[in-house]
Structure formats: C-alpha cells, structure tokens
Amino acid sequence: MSTVYNLKREVEKPVRLTGGHRLCAGCGAGVVVAGVLRALDKEDRAVVTNATSCLQVSTFMYPYTAYMDSYIHSAFENSAATCAGVEAAYNAMKRRGKVEGNVKFITFAGDGGTYDIGFQALSGAMERGHDMVYVCYDNEAYMNTGIQRSSSTPRFARTTTSPLGSVQPGKRQDKKDLTEIMVAHHIPYVAQTAPLGNFRDLHLKSHQAIYTEGPCFLNVLAPCPRGWDYPMAKLAEITQLAVDTCVWPLFEVQEGVWRLTYTPKKKLPVEDFLRPQGRFRHMFQKGNEWMIEEAQRFVDDKWEKLLERTGA
C-alpha cells in the first residue's frame, strides 16, 4: 500500500456521491461510499453497480441518483455478476475501438448481499479474474429490511431474528470471516478498513484496490446507528472503538502477503466497544458476564492469529 496521502488534495477532488440522498443521519454506508469513490483519480470514470440494500434505496430512486458516475442497480444476489458482465462488455468494446478513456468498475453491497445472498456471484467474479473492485460496507445485519441477523452479525448481538429471551441470548453463532475467505481466492488485493480519523487508511486501500489490475476486495466497517442502537453522532467514536479493541483490525493482503496497517497504542477490552450499543446491552446484565468473556476470547484469538500472519 502506498504511503502517499495528501488530505487537502483529496478533499478538493470533485464529489462523486452527492448530498441530498436519503441515507439516515450518521449512516456509515454513505461515508464509506463517498470515501471509496474519492480515491478515484480525477480524470477517470467509473461504473458503479449496487446490490439492493439500504444504500441502493437511499441513493437511487428512479429517475434520481446521488452518483455522478454511471450507476446500475442490481438485484440483491447478483451485483458482482452484473459488474463482471459490464467489465467484460467494456473490454470487448475497447478492443473494437468503440470506447475510449479509463473506466473503473466498482461494486457496493452490504453484508447481507455479500456474506450471504450474493456470495456465489462474488466468489465467481473473483475466481474468473475480472478487473473490478468489490466493496462490502459491513453493518452486520440486514438493516434495510428490518435488522435481521446475517452471517456477519457478531455473536450475542440482538436482532429481530436473533431476539433475547430465555431460549437464546441474541445470535448464537460467531461472525463469519469473509475477508479471510476472499484471501483464499488468491486474488491480487484484499483489505479490511474503516472510515476513521482522517480517512487515510480507507483512502489508500481504496486507491490500491481500484488501481490494482484484476479482482480486488475491500471489507469496510460501516456502523449503523439504527441497527446497532447508539446515538447517530457517535459514528466516529464507535468506529474507533471497533479498531482499538481489535474487534475490527485493519490489514491488507497483497499478492498473498499479509500486512497489519494499524496497531492500537493500547488494545482496549472488547466491552468498551460493546457497552455503547443497545444491541449488546443484555451482555452487561448480572449473570451474563460469561458472554463478555466469550466475546473477548474470540477477539483475542483472531488478533493473535493476525499478528502471527503479518509478523507484527
């Protein structure tokens, strides 16, 4: 990953996701998308494909769109296939001299359309080697349709389909490690990032993915104040806690080489991330201390394995 980053230069670039969309105040998805698109060089064009999601219904309602680049709304399950098809068509037209200029192909989808419903199309597009970037904005549930659990939802989280009660303490299963699954596809570039601080990590990884030839994948944490149940003004705080507790570590894998891109000055206990969110409130009730211990054990185990892989 390049270390060149000029914040002033980046914020002066033309906006590619306009204001006035219908995303909730404090929504992480809009911040992620705007940040990724800002990594495009000014002279380049993009084709954006977007799975049905919170993002889609809020940024595109025919005939209006919040995107300054070409935009295609795909079904929930096939955004990766759509992007791959457009990329293949572009290459065919370019060989025949029918199109000019540099066009980049970017897919945005939530965790429901990525970890679950769209995984087959994603895996196929990556395996076939299309020159495209797939961006998952991970808000850890099906937020658009009622906050149902997905395979990205963390263990013990409360959702409408993993309710709290005497039978179960929220979701029973651990979060799927999709980033690691994508590394197993042996694609040129995979990274995990988040919209925090001055956006340097998000920008550099987005630029690296967009301008690396071949299929690339970005998994980006996108906190949801509605589904996670925290005040909307605390987006930056919640994101920073996810990173500093190592619940969401920042790293990249380039041509099979793992590299840690952020190490907390002080690794915080996982409860610091859990406590501000209503979806985990039950974990702090008397008698549920074991849930926090299990959550900490899971995070610590994943973190130690990541340190070993990256040699950090």
Measured distance CA(273)–CA(219) in Å, rounded: 19
Q: Tokens for 2?
A: 């390049």
Residue 176 is predicted with a pLDDT of 98
Residue pair 106/83 in contact by the 8 Å Cβ criterion: yes
Residue pair 209/133 in contact by the 8 Å Cβ criterion: yes
The CATH number of 13-310 is: 3.40.50.970
The residue among 121, 97, 99, 98 whose CA lies nearest residue 109 is 121
Task: Compute CA distances 42 → 49, 77, 105, 106, 215, whole Å.
Answer: 20, 31, 15, 16, 22
Residue pair 280/157 in contact by the 8 Å Cβ criterion: yes
Residue 2 is predicted with a pLDDT of 53
3-state secondary structure 106-145: EEEEECHHHHHCCHHHHHHHHHHCCCCEEEEEECCCECCC
Residue 280 is predicted with a pLDDT of 98
Q: Most distant CA pair in the chain: distance in Å?
A: 69
Residue 10 is predicted with a pLDDT of 84
pLDDT < 70 stretches in the chain: 1-3
Burial of residue 309 (CB within 10 Å: 0-12, 13-18, 19+) is middle
Beta-ladder partners of 162: 159
Q: What is the pTM of this model?
A: 0.96
- Say what angle helices 235-244 and 28-38 make with each other, to 10 degrees: 80
Q: What angle do CA 6, 12, 17 make, to 5 degrees?
A: 110
Measured distance CA(96)–CA(103) in Å, rounded: 16
